[in-house]
Amino acid sequence: MTTVVVTPRSVSSGGHPSLARLEQAGYEVVFPAPGRQPNEGELIAAMPGCVGYLAGVEPVTRRVIEAGSTLKVISRNGVGVDNVDLKAADECGIQVKRTVGANARGVAELAIGSMIAAARGIPAADRSLKGERWERSRGIELHGRALGLLGCGSIGQLVAEIALGMGMTVRAYDPFPPAGFNPGDRFSFADFGTVIEASDVISLHCPPSPDGYVIGAAEIAAMKDGAILVNTARDGLVDAQAARAALDSGKLRAVTVDAFAKEPPDDFSFVAHDRVIGTPHIGGFTKESVDMAMDLAVTNLLDVVGSAT
């Protein structure tokens, strides 16, 4: 029987109803690493006989792709494909599909929640009470403040709409601004420098840059004193060393992070900082987002491979 490899951690340990459609189409569903991110060796071992690969955020390297001699499609259960060697996939004639917008609401709501948590110091307040201490720190209100978005795709657009509803002003930088998106008078597109310099909160909704960090020491230096930096996108967007220095100096009020280069990370020292709010890649980990992403990922996969029967 031909196989479909499934790796997203959100479903690989407990399954998902959408996977029944693969079995009904005559495919055997294989989980190389149930409940965790597979390594390269585990993926290579799973490739023989595989025609479809429903992929999570694990690195899909050239070695993995070339091991899939029968592989026809890599279907991501998310929008990002920076973890996939697209050149190798193209050379091998393998289609790469994305589930654009499927987890946008979940990620957008986490971004907004992270902003509020950072502005009010909610995690630190919770820790103090759990430690039987009564420690209060004065927060800030987001109403009337400026939110800067780097990236204004489906997630960024939802963040903008929610933030406007909270009374914020929103400026967005996107090299390809979406035509017709204008959710209100307090929204505008701006250049990268303006977004960096004029924002009280900066939220990242863009892919990593091949040229290096999107937010490095120079960008942080140009930010407002006391700015909040929210990253629900990718680990490689922010120079953690520069961000840590800015937290220590008071230049940044807080940094939030939801994605890591390796998951779980080997080094937890950055998220251990008192003013870093870390979450274990839960942006799209809601019932609604998982359901939508899996349904679309399976549809995309079957559109390429068809039925095995």
Q: Catalytic positions, please?
A: 234, 263, 281
* Contacting residues for 125 by C-beta, under 8 A, at least 6 apart: 135, 136, 137
Is residue 76 classed as helix, strand or coil in its secondary structure?
strand
Four-point Cα dihedral 242, 61, 267, 240, nearest 10: 10
Is residue 88 classed as helix, strand or coil in its secondary structure?
helix
Structure tokens at 42: 């585990």
Q: How many of the other CB atoms lie within 10 Å of CB of 216?
A: 15
Q: How many of the other CB atoms lie within 10 Å of CB of 211?
A: 6
Q: How many of the other CB atoms lie within 10 Å of CB of 294?
A: 23
The region that residue 132 occupies, defined by phi over 0 for left and psi between -120 and 50 for alpha, beta otherwise, is left
Do the beta carbons of residue 129 and residue 147 sit within 8 Å? Answer: no
